[in-house]
Amino acid sequence: MSKIIAVCILACLLAIISVADAKCKTYLKNRFEKCLAKGFQSSIENCNGADAVLKKRQLKTCGRIETKVKQCGYTCSPPQVDGGWSDFGNWSECSAKCGEGVQTRSRSCNNPSPAHGGAECEGEKTESRSCNNGACPVDGGWSDFGNWSECSAKCGEGVQTRSRSCNNPAPAHGGAECEGEKTESRSCNQGQCPGTCKGHVCLRGEANYIALPLGSRLNSPNGDYSLVMQADRNLVLYCKGNAVWASKTTGTAVSDGLTYQADGNLVLYDPEGNALWDTETGGTRASTMVMQNDGNFVLYTDDGKAAWSTGTNGQC
Ligand SMILES: *[C@@H]1O[C@H](CO)[C@@H](O)[C@H](O)[C@H]1NC(C)=O
Ligand SMILES: *[C@@H]1O[C@H](CO)[C@@H](O)[C@H](O)[C@H]1NC(C)=O
Nearest ligand (C-alpha, residue 144): 2
CA of 87, nearest ligand number = 1
In this prediction, residue 231 carries a pLDDT of 87
Query: Ligand 2 center to residue 147 CA distance, Å?
Result: 6
- Strand arrangement, sheet containing 201-203: 197-198, 201-203, 288-291, 297-300, 306-309
Ligand with smallest separation from the Cα of 162? 2
Query: CA quadruple 279, 283, 286, 289: dihedral positive or negative?
Result: positive
User: What's the pLDDT at 75?
Assistant: 85
pLDDT at 246 over 80: yes
Closest ligand by atom to 148 CA: 2
Ligand nearest the Cα of residue 92 is: 1
Query: What average pLDDT does range 159-165 have in this prediction?
Result: 98
Residue 89 CA to ligand 1 center (angstroms) comes to: 8
| Beta-carbon contacts of residue 72 (< 8 Å; ≥ 6 apart) | 21, 24, 25, 28
pLDDT value, residue 233: 84
* pLDDT confidence of residue 2: 56
pLDDT digits (tens, 9 = 90+) for 9-44: 555 555 555 666 777 778 888 899 999 999 999 999
Q: Where are the alpha helices (H) located in the chain, listed in sequence order?
A: 2-38, 56-72
52-99: pLDDT as tens digits = 898 999 999 999 999 998 888 888 888 899 999 999 999 999 999 999
Bridge partners of 213? 257
